[in-house]
Structure 1
Amino acid sequence: MTLLSLSNMQTRIDQYAVLHDVTLDVPEGGVFVLLGRNGAGKTTTLRSIMGLWKPSPGSVKFRGQDITGMHTADIARLGIALVPENMGIFGGLTVQENLVLATTTGRFDADRLDRVQTLFPALKTFWTKQAWSLSGGQKQMLAVARAIIEPRALILIDEPTKGLAPSIVDAMADAFAEIAQTTTILLVEQNFEFAKSLGRDMAVIDDGRVVHRGTMAEFAADADLQGRLIGISA
């Protein structure tokens, strides 16, 4: 079943056309990976889905509902969350306060909070610490935790492993695999080893256009295709 559908989506930033007729279907369940070289349009795609930039022409549909042009807050209320590349956390607030702000009521569901703290034990350890004092990996954990502190149908995650130590990347992979059991993840990632360990379906975007779509297993097995589309050499 298709959860998210992008149809002929075009996005301009100032006078520059960044996306050109992006058409893509993201199925419900698991991890869908969007790959591409730097500057290909991956982040713009996520921001356009979230309503931070307005595609025109083209459309974005979520569970069959046209959300093109909706305000970001209204899109979030439908069950979509964005974890941006800059993490989007509040450094002057504690871990607890960051998570409270990500709820709609200002209160935690006890089971949900327990799940988040089980996935990311460091957040429980540093519960009362200000977010600026966390390590890079811990900040990324907090950013993801904010996205899942309430039930979501879809999480858009932009470059979560950038600059992280290998041990933290491994822990993040385990957490994402667990999250994907109940929530669809649309993942933008440059770390191909991380991406292929998680992805079920994938697409490659280049120069603002989708140039390949298929399963991750097929793409991971084709070294020539990887080299041509994302610059990975055998």
Structure 2
Amino acid sequence: MSLLSIQNMDVSIGQYSVLHGVTFDVPEGGVFVLLGRNGAGKTTTLRAIMGLWQPSPGSVSFRGEQIAGMHTSDIAKKGIAFVPENMGIFGGLTVAENMVLATANGKFDQTRLKRVYELFPALEQFWDKQAWSLSGGQKQMLAVARAIIEPRDLILIDEPTKGLAPSIIAAMGEAFREISAQTTILLVEQNFAFAKSLGRDMAVIDDGRVVHTGTMADFVADTELQNRLLSLSMEAG
């Protein structure tokens, strides 16, 4: 059984139909990458999984349980976290306060907090600093740290490397590898060098429809398919 199964999911926002019969399965473990051109529907897909947009019709099941139609907070309680493109952190609060808000009862599990420090040492260094004062990379680290401070089965992450320096991207990649050994990641990413270094399985969305699913290794090996589906060569990097 797939960890997450999406079947025939349509999403309309106002008068606009954005997703059309989106279907793919995310197996448990590792990183599943969702690829596509800008505006293809990738972010909408993540938001629909998280209940921020309601699919109609369509099915979204998590560990065999239907979650489409649930409130976002109830979906989160099932063990799913969402790191949006805008990171969703509170600039006027300290790093510590941001982290406390992500806990279930306002208290840290010290083992998990230690793991956060190991993955993102800068957060321990800036623990008492207001989040607005962090660099872009540090803010992204904080956003991901908030997603893993409680046990999760699945983390949805939208464009985590956007605007980051290469050294920060490399550090983020190492952190994602460690996280994905215990927690499945569904990743939306435009940086293909980053995506292909992490992804085990993948899907391509075009104009609100899934047009390809398969392994990342097979997709990387087929430059003709890359060009046909994404209109660019992804050999670089």
Does TM, scored on the shorter chain, surpass 0.5? yes
Structure 1 residue identity aligned to 2:185: I
2:175 matched residue in structure 1: 175
Cα shift at 1:228: 1.2
Structure 1 outlier segments of 4+, above 3 Å: none
Structure 1 residue identity aligned to 2:124: K
* 1:3 matches 2:10: no
* 1:103 matches 2:100: no
* 1:32 matches 2:25: no
Structure 2 residue identity aligned to 1:173: G
Q: How many residues align?
A: 234
Q: Percent identity?
A: 77
Cα shift at 1:230: 1.6
Partner Cα separation in structure 2 for residue 116 and residue 67 of structure 1: 29
Partner Cα separation in structure 1 for residue 221 and residue 161 of structure 2: 23
1:224 matched residue in structure 2: 224
SS at structure 2 position matched to 1:197: helix
SS at structure 2 position matched to 1:157: strand
SS at structure 2 position matched to 1:2: coil
Structure 1 residue identity aligned to 2:4: L
Partner Cα separation in structure 2 for residue 206 and residue 93 of structure 1: 38
Partner Cα separation in structure 2 for residue 98 and residue 215 of structure 1: 36
Cα shift at 1:135: 0.1
2:120 matched residue in structure 1: 120
1:122-175 deviations in Å (ceiling 9; x for gaps): 000000000000000000000000000011000000000000000000000000
2:195 matched residue in structure 1: 195
Cα shift at 1:231: 2.5
2:82 matched residue in structure 1: 82
SS at structure 2 position matched to 1:214: strand
2:184 matched residue in structure 1: 184
1:41 matched residue in structure 2: 41
Map of 1:130-145 to 2, 5 A cutoff? 130-145=130-145
Map of 1:9-28 to 2, 5 A cutoff? 9-28=9-28
1:73 matched residue in structure 2: 73
Cα shift at 1:232: 2.4
Partner Cα separation in structure 1 for residue 117 and residue 94 of structure 2: 15
Which of 129-138 and 223-232 deviates more? 223-232
- The root-mean-square deviation of aligned C-alpha atoms, in Å, is 0.6
Cα shift at 1:196: 0.2
Structure 2 residue identity aligned to 1:150: E
SS at structure 2 position matched to 1:140: helix
Partner Cα separation in structure 1 for residue 33 and residue 230 of structure 2: 13
* 1:147 matches 2:147: yes
Partner Cα separation in structure 1 for residue 152 and residue 203 of structure 2: 22
Stretches of structure 2 that go unaligned for 5 or more consecutive residues are: none
Cα shift at 1:227: 1.1
Partner Cα separation in structure 2 for residue 192 and residue 35 of structure 1: 9
1:60-119 deviations in Å (ceiling 9; x for gaps): 000000001100000000000000000000000000000000001000000000000100
Partner Cα separation in structure 1 for residue 91 and residue 103 of structure 2: 18
TM-score, normalised by the number of residues in structure 1:
0.99
